[in-house]
């Protein structure tokens, strides 16, 4: 299983490295992607102390690292993709943020090999990067030693059920509608011609794995009522409906069952 997991990481690395040169171009003008980033960043900011030191996992091209650095925080941005790391470094240098953003080529499954081990005030992972491993439990186990006492963790994860995906059943898209429900052995993902697997995790998995060392702070559903970003052009075609759905989601994001059935959920915990 370890060999298989490592092979899956290699495939994911190849996919995201290939995509790294066009990643920002693809998503920069996507209204719902920008909505998701705004939601996630607002969630994280409420838990950051001034001049926090953040360990970011699967940092991609550095969009979030740059955002938090420009807010006065320091970020150590890690990613398994060499292409993403190179794109991040170029952007950091262009913005003159070298003193606030460091980077390291490292998988989140190998955090015990980090050269820069902190200690950190916050660990952050956005947009389901952690769904690319079936070893999430081991990744979670490594967090406590990297954090200061009272340090926090914020993760953005794909759950095992998404209301919007399930509703695609009525459009005859059965594979998409049920892919999360029957994915115990992993579900195929496809990026830039490369296939790799991803796994889905409910909040209870994270809470139970960390319950001896962390207290739960909050859970929010993301794209529970607002449609997922892969429903292309929704916000532009239906601007009034989109604004209304945003307002409703903002009111219900932390309530049951809405916080559990979005495309993602945002979960934050604090080290005891």
pLDDT for position 4: 46
Three-state DSSP state, 223: coil
Q: Phi then psi for 126, rounded to 5 degrees?
A: -105, 160
Q: How far is CA 114 from CA 55, 57, 228, in A?
A: 11, 11, 34
pLDDT for position 2: 42
Q: Helix, strand, coil: what percent of the chain each, to 5? A: 45, 20, 35
pLDDT for position 184: 86
Say yes or no to pLDDT of 29 above 50: yes
pLDDT for position 154: 99
Residue pair 109/138 in contact (Cβ under 8 Å)? The answer is yes
pLDDT digits (tens, 9 = 90+) for 55-91: 999 999 999 999 999 999 999 999 999 999 999 999 9
pLDDT for position 1: 41
pLDDT digits (tens, 9 = 90+) for 133-183: 999 999 999 999 999 999 999 999 999 999 999 999 999 999 899 999 988
258/161 Cα distance (integer angstroms): 11
* Longest Cα–Cα distance in the chain: 52
Cα distance between the two ends of the chain: 32
Whole-prediction pTM: 0.95
Residue pair 158/131 in contact (Cβ under 8 Å)? The answer is yes
The count of other CB atoms within 10 Å of the CB of residue 89 is: 16
Give me 215's structure tokens.
């207290």
For the CA atoms of 54, 102, 69, 157, the dihedral, rounded to the nearest 10 degrees, stands at -50
163/170 Cα distance (integer angstroms): 12
The rounded mean pLDDT for the chain is: 95
pLDDT digits (tens, 9 = 90+) for 262-271: 999 999 999 9
Residue 272 pLDDT grade (very low, low, confident, very high; cuts 50, 70, 90) = very high
Q: Phi then psi for 200, rounded to 5 degrees?
A: -115, 140
Segment among 10-24, 75-89, 158-172, 212-226 with least mean pLDDT: 10-24
Q: Is the peptide bond before 251 cis (omega within 30 degrees of 0)?
A: no
| Among 112-116, 177-181, 222-226, the range of highest mean pLDDT | 222-226
Rounded average pLDDT over 108-126: 95
Phi-psi region of 128 (alpha: psi -120 to 50; beta: other; left: phi over 0): left
* Residue 161 exposed, middle or buried by CB count within 10 Å (0-12, 13-18, 19+): middle
């Amino acid at each position: 299983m370890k060999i298989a997991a490592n092979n899956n990481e290699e495939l994911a690395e190849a996919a995201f490295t290939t995509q790294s040169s066009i990643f920002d171009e693809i998503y920069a003008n996507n209204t719902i992607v920008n909505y998701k980033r705004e939601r996630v960043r607002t969630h994280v900011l409420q838990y950051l102390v001034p001049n926090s030191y953040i360990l970011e996992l699967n940092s991609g091209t550095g969009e979030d690292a740059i955002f938090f650095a420009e807010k006065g925080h320091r970020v150590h941005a890690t990613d398994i993709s060499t292409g993403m790391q190179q794109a991040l470094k170029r952007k950091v240098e262009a913005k003159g943020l070298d003193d606030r953003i460091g980077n390291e080529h490292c998988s989140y499954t190998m955090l015990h090999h980090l050269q820069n081990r902190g200690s950190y005030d916050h660990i952050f992972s956005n947009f389901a990067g952690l769904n690319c491993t079936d070893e999430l439990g081991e990744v979670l186990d490594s967090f406590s030693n990297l954090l200061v006492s009272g340090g926090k963790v914020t993760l953005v994860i794909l759950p095992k059920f998404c209301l919007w995906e399930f509703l695609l059943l009525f459009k005859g898209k059965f594979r998409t509608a049920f892919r999360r429900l029957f994915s115990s052995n992993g579900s195929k993902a496809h990026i830039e011609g490369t296939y790799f697997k991803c796994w889905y995790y409910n909040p209870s998995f994270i809470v139970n794995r960390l319950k001896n060392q962390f207290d739960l702070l909050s859970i929010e559903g993301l794209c529970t009522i607002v449609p997922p970003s892969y429903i292309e052009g929704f916000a532009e075609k239906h601007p009034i409906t989109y604004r209304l759905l945003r307002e409703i989601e903002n009111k219900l994001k932390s309530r049951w069952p809405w916080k559990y059935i979005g495309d993602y959920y945002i979960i934050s915990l604090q080290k005891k």
